[in-house]
Structure 1
Amino acid sequence: MMTLSARHLEKGNPITGPSLLEDVSLPAAVIFDAELANNIAWMQRFADGHGAQLAPHGKTTMTPALFRRQLDAGAWGVTLATATQCAVAFEHGATRLLMANQLVGAPNMAIVAGLIERGADYCCVVDSVANVEALDRFFGARDLTLNVLIELGVPGGRCGVRDESALAALVDAIAAAPAVALCGIEGYEGLIGGEHAVDRVRAYARQLVATLRRLMDAGAFADRKPIVTAAGSQWFDLIAEAFDQAELREHCTPVLRPGCYVVHDHRSYRDALAEVKARHPELEGNLQPALAVFAHVQSLPEPGLAVVAMGKRDISCDPDLPIPLQRHRPGEPAHPLRHCTVRKVMDQHTMLVIPEDADLRIGDIVSFGASHPCLTFDKWRQVLRVDDGLRVLETMPTFF
């Protein structure tokens, strides 16, 4: 939790806009306001430009204040992964909820049923007859209709039907389930990799569209404009290519659902965006890293080593160790930390390798970036939105 210093609480210092460097107990997770606004606008423009709706994946941040910013900027809805996440989003004003996961277990079904009864526009994904039958029994007993999307999987991936016979059986099971309504096709391409990943992602996107059209021709969908949805934060441009068809937009609702773009990152998605820009040099602007963790140097026990009061409980170490960004001192310009690397991260300590002549002192503040922001957000009960001068503009609670 953010704790203000005694200096900030003195008479004459307003309770708003504390200084991150002087008035906040560190470590703290920080989101830069200008970069955040840039990222939200950039991805919304991208979706709009491809005739697609945007349903950002909320599991990345589980920060309702960010959901609201994304919705206010034009997002169609919010994607979530679990029933409890959907409940959080709904309680904070998100009414269109796309759960890109199977809904399994009576307690989870009960949460969703309560949301639907309160007006949520909800859908989840299915990939098995057994799940459809269980959903039909539960929601039928509540006199409710559950909207579902069929998930198409990939070999070696996670969930989703793998072949035409499983797909046909699932379509038949939904048609025989009065409490379950088929509203579209869903996929996730993020686990496709390897030497020919681009070609394989494009083929998978075409498969999603072809399956949608085939089922539309067969009259399988309950909705007049069924949904077709995919796209994480790595291959969103390739999915958008397949969805960007006038005929598709006229008769369907294409939905992209990246999540990590909202704060981007300093390595994994930075590199992925460079590949997107290489494929599409016409794209203007960039996503910008907006998330960092600030922490104090607490020990300089030997030459070439600084110990920082930040650990695995504060920042992601997967898929990369934290990236040192800048040294901060109150009243001085930030100083880039060149030739510094993280050697090891423990529960509450980070071992930072530094040049022997580095100008680093006990009490200095170091900012760190990370790869894959999901695994940093979930370590915090709140994140701080700051301006370019590192004044705190807003404390944003998270709900993990």
Structure 2
Amino acid sequence: MLKESIFSDFVLNASAKGYPLAAEPCAVSALGQRGWHLLDDALAYPVAVLRRPALAHNLAWMQAFVQRKGVALAPHGKTTMSPELFRMQLQAGAWGLTFANVHQLRVGLAAGAQRAIIANQLVSDADLDGLDHLLNQYPQARVWFLVDSLAQLRTLADWGARRGQPRCWDVLLELGIAGYRTGCRTHEQALVLAQAMAESGVVRLGGVECYEGGLGQCDSDHDIEAVSALVRSVQALVHQIDDQHLWGGEEVLLSAGGSAVFDLVIPMLKTQVKSRPVQGVLRSGCYVTHDHWNYARYLKLVESREGLSASLQPALEVWAQVQSVPEPGLAILSAGRRDLSFDQCMPMPVRWAARGQSGEGAMQATPESWKVKALSDQHAHMVFDAQGVWPKVGDRVALGISHPCTTFDKWRWMAIIEDDGRISGAISTHF
């Protein structure tokens, strides 16, 4: 049963971007009762929406994928930071949730997570104090974080000595990639660290973690070779640790999995050891909404490798209005850098509806020539073929995005819509 929390029914009001200024405040859970429709212009543009049928499909698809592979799913919560979506993921069967820091963990535990991985190193007093507080507040929860150096291990011991606390932390040893992010760079470093962990009394070494996403180049031959080399490296380290009896828990957690080449780490997650059971944990997070470009192109390769005809569906769109057509071939839309991802590519016009149209068939695929070429803080500069269909002032345009993580953090809430545009609910975010 999910724990009651301060996030159980977030109240929307006019302070939230996209919510109607003249409307009465409304709990997220009751928004569907308002009878609003995306195209009746009740909401202020721009407005971020999640297509409910695509959400439901993605939740079911990823859970079926991990079950078929014999591993568990702890989706990365940093993608959405939405308690409502966390609950959907847990109810769909997720083993736990993943976070990048203690602030994010707080939201996940309040949403009902009983297991969590902080896929990051903790080194500050504030973070350790915060995690200690949360573990006292949620005594049934298990939380693992990453350790990758003797210096960090000494920091943990120093915190305990200064606080007079007997806390023994659950941790995963991170094996990294040269030139990339965190993690031990060699097996020698990792094994020395594992030995020190086993002797410290400050931590329980629960398993090994890595992150393969930085190796992906959206070239299947390259990605298979690069990720497989990392997988073999982790497997060798896991067997070394097992041979020396350095584990501190009753089972071994092996965790990896971004959102691009997640299928390629499954062999690592299924590594077996002699001394105890193994639980493989995949951490992909962007699957819940997917996207319209970056992960979409990686997913085509996943589908090819897995022999699938279709898999995830894009669920996230930001709808804007055409507010000016100042010259032939250029339309200015009412959404910009403050509203949309642009770190990987420009937003993509995917659907549109003419001003005043809201019935069946009002939403259409955008003409091929409509493309966003630039963003200002509050505007999208959309070019189009002046010999083709012209967007008109007041028309509504749905912008697809790449990299959902950097769209979610621009919104305090998002409307959930049906395929016909009816608003059936909402989610809140807590960045």
Same-fold call, TM > 0.5? yes
Given that 1:139 and 1:146 are in contact with CA atoms closer than 8 Å, whether structure 2 keeps it comes out as no
The letter of the residue matching 1:68 is R
Given that 1:113 and 1:139 are in contact with CA atoms closer than 8 Å, whether structure 2 keeps it comes out as no
CA distance in 1, matches of 2:284, 2:325: 41
Q: Does 1:60 align with 2:79?
A: yes
SS of the equivalent of 1:176 reads helix
Given that 1:184 and 1:226 are in contact with CA atoms closer than 8 Å, whether structure 2 keeps it comes out as yes
- Aligned-pair Cα RMSD in Å: 2.2
> Corresponding residue for 2:28?
none
Identity, % of aligned pairs? 38
Matches within 5 A, 1:12-31: 15-22=33-40, 23-31=42-50
Structure 2: 5+ residue stretches without partners = 1-15, 26-30
Q: Which moved more, 1:132-141 or 1:87-96?
A: 132-141
Q: Does 1:333 align with 2:351?
A: no
The letter of the residue matching 2:290 is H
CA distance in 1, matches of 2:275, 2:108: 27
CA distance in 2, matches of 1:98, 1:28: 32
Given that 2:323 and 2:333 are in contact with CA atoms closer than 8 Å, whether structure 1 keeps it comes out as yes
Q: Does 1:240 align with 2:270?
A: no
Q: CA deviation at 1:14?
A: 8.6
Q: Does 1:278 align with 2:301?
A: no
SS of the equivalent of 2:155 reads helix
SS of the equivalent of 2:304 reads helix
Given that 2:223 and 2:261 are in contact with CA atoms closer than 8 Å, whether structure 1 keeps it comes out as no
Given that 2:171 and 2:206 are in contact with CA atoms closer than 8 Å, whether structure 1 keeps it comes out as yes
Q: CA deviation at 1:168?
A: 2.3
Task: Summarize the Cα distance change of 1:7–1:63 in structure 2 as closer, same or farther, 3 Å threshold.
Answer: closer
> Corresponding residue for 2:192?
169
Aligned pairs, how many? 396
Structure 1: 5+ residue stretches without partners = none
SS of the equivalent of 1:384 reads strand
Q: Does 1:210 align with 2:233?
A: no
- Given candidates 89, 101, 126, the residue that maps to 1:70 is 89
Given that 1:4 and 1:18 are in contact with CA atoms closer than 8 Å, whether structure 2 keeps it comes out as no
TM-score, normalised to structure 2, is 0.87
Q: CA deviation at 1:18?
A: 1.3
Deviations 1:34-90 (A, max 9, x none): 000111111111111111010000001111111110010110000000111111111
- Given candidates 150, 153, 163, the residue that maps to 1:132 is 153
SS of the equivalent of 1:306 reads strand
Q: Does 1:90 align with 2:109?
A: yes
Matches within 5 A, 1:123-162: 123-139=144-160, 141-162=164-185
Q: Does 1:184 align with 2:202?
A: no
The letter of the residue matching 1:350 is A
CA distance in 2, matches of 1:133, 1:7: 54
Q: Which moved more, 1:382-391 or 1:246-255?
A: 246-255
Q: Does 1:122 align with 2:143?
A: yes
Q: CA deviation at 1:395?
A: 2.0
Q: Which moved more, 1:71-80 or 1:139-148?
A: 139-148
Task: Summarize the Cα distance change of 1:386–1:8 in structure 2 as closer, same or farther, 3 Å threshold.
Answer: farther
Q: CA deviation at 1:248?
A: 8.8
SS of the equivalent of 1:234 reads coil
Given that 2:187 and 2:237 are in contact with CA atoms closer than 8 Å, whether structure 1 keeps it comes out as no
Task: Summarize the Cα distance change of 1:247–1:105 in structure 2 as closer, same or farther, 3 Å threshold.
Answer: closer
Deviations 1:164-199 (A, max 9, x none): 221122112212321211100000001114573320
Deviations 1:247-294 (A, max 9, x none): 79972110000011110000111100100111121x364100000000
TM-score, normalised to structure 1, is 0.94
